[in-house]
């Protein structure tokens, strides 16, 4: 009995499996005729941000203009901005004045110079340029010539604070080293109630050291500049 029961069980299982496969295949091709979609109410739309174009006035647009200020615009370059209704054509600045297209005889008087005779050749042109009296003024008279005062140098003393000149004279007894040209020099001296304070200080050299040393000693010992001046600071110029 046992082998028969097992054989029947196999057939039963095989039949059930085949039936399940057939049902699954039939479901793939089955289309229900009474299927209707369920109506779903639309969801309520929530308001979102919107972008709108707004027509701004000219003044408001200028205030919100993102253009950087250092770039040339009609407001900061050239002529001042004019309203659109203004006439900007050239020549309209004096449109309010009547045109005056002619001048009266009393207002416009043209005078022309006399005709010039043009030389006919190069030789005639050179002749016309010669003065009438070439040697006029030579040997016409004698003028007395005054003799200059002999001097070896000249000294000028002025206040250091305001440049007021207090002394100017020729140095007839000066005898600077000769043989080399020297240029004017400058000294700075200080004078107190006792006289010259120290030696004159050279502020501008004569480019010759021997001449500098000579006048430095001359001013202090020969000219005795400290005894001639009131207390203060002085600028001394010495030239040939």
Query: Percentage of the chain surpassing pLDDT 70?
Result: 61
Predicted confidence (pLDDT) at residue 207 exceeds the cutoff of 70: yes
- Find all residues with CB under 8 Å of 95, minimum gap 6, and list them: 87
126 vs 119: CA distance, rounded Å: 9
What's phi and psi for 19, nearest 5 deg? -60, -40
**Lowest mean per-residue pLDDT among 8-17, 64-73, 185-194, 231-240:** 64-73
Query: Given this model, what pLDDT does residue 105 score?
Result: 58
Confidence of residue 127 (pLDDT cuts 50, 70, 90): confident
Q: Is 59 left (phi over 0), alpha (psi -120 to 50) or beta?
A: alpha
Confidence of residue 208 (pLDDT cuts 50, 70, 90): confident
Predicted confidence (pLDDT) at residue 1 exceeds the cutoff of 50: no
Predicted confidence (pLDDT) at residue 186 exceeds the cutoff of 90: yes
Predicted confidence (pLDDT) at residue 168 exceeds the cutoff of 50: yes
Query: How long, in residues, is the chain?
Result: 240
**Lowest mean per-residue pLDDT among 20-24, 82-86, 180-184, 215-219:** 82-86
Predicted confidence (pLDDT) at residue 67 exceeds the cutoff of 60: yes
119 vs 132: CA distance, rounded Å: 18
Predicted confidence (pLDDT) at residue 64 exceeds the cutoff of 80: no
Predicted confidence (pLDDT) at residue 3 exceeds the cutoff of 60: no
- Only one residue has tokens 């190069």, namely 122
Confidence of residue 66 (pLDDT cuts 50, 70, 90): confident
For residue range 76-114, what is the model confidence (pLDDT) as tens digits?
665 555 666 665 566 666 666 677 666 655 656 667 788
Choose between 31 and 148: higher pLDDT. 148
Query: Given this model, what pLDDT does residue 48 score?
Result: 58
223 vs 238: CA distance, rounded Å: 12
The domain limits of the chain are: 165-239
pTM (2 d.p.): 0.39
8 A C-beta contact, residue 193 and residue 231:
yes
Predicted confidence (pLDDT) at residue 52 exceeds the cutoff of 70: no
């Amino acid at each position: 009995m046992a082998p028969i029961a097992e054989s029947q069980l196999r057939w039963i299982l095989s039949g059930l499996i085949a039936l399940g496969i057939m049902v699954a295949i039939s479901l793939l091709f089955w289309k229900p005729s009474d299927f209707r979609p369920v109506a779903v109410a639309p969801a309520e739309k929530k308001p979102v941000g919107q972008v709108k174009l707004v027509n701004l006035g000219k003044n408001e647009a200028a205030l919100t203009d993102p253009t950087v200020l250092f770039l040339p615009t009609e407001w900061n370059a050239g002529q001042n901005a004019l309203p659109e209704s203004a006439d900007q054509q050239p020549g309209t600045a004096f449109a309010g004045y009547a045109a005056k297209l002619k001048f009266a005889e009393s207002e416009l008087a043209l005078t022309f110079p006399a005709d010039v005779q043009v030389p006919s050749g190069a030789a005639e042109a050179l002749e016309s340029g010669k003065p009438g009296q070439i040697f006029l003024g030579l040997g016409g008279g004698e003028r007395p010539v005054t003799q200059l005062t002999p001097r070896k140098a000249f000294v000028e003393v002025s206040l250091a604070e305001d440049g007021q000149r207090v002394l100017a004279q020729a140095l007839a007894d000066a005898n600077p080293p000769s043989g080399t040209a020297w240029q004017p020099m400058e000294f700075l001296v200080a004078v107190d109630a006792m006289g010259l304070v120290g030696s004159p200080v050279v502020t501008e050299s004569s480019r010759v050291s021997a001449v500098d040393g000579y006048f430095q000693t001359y001013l202090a010992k020969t000219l005795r500049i400290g005894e001639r001046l009131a207390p203060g600071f002085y600028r001394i110029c010495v030239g040939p």
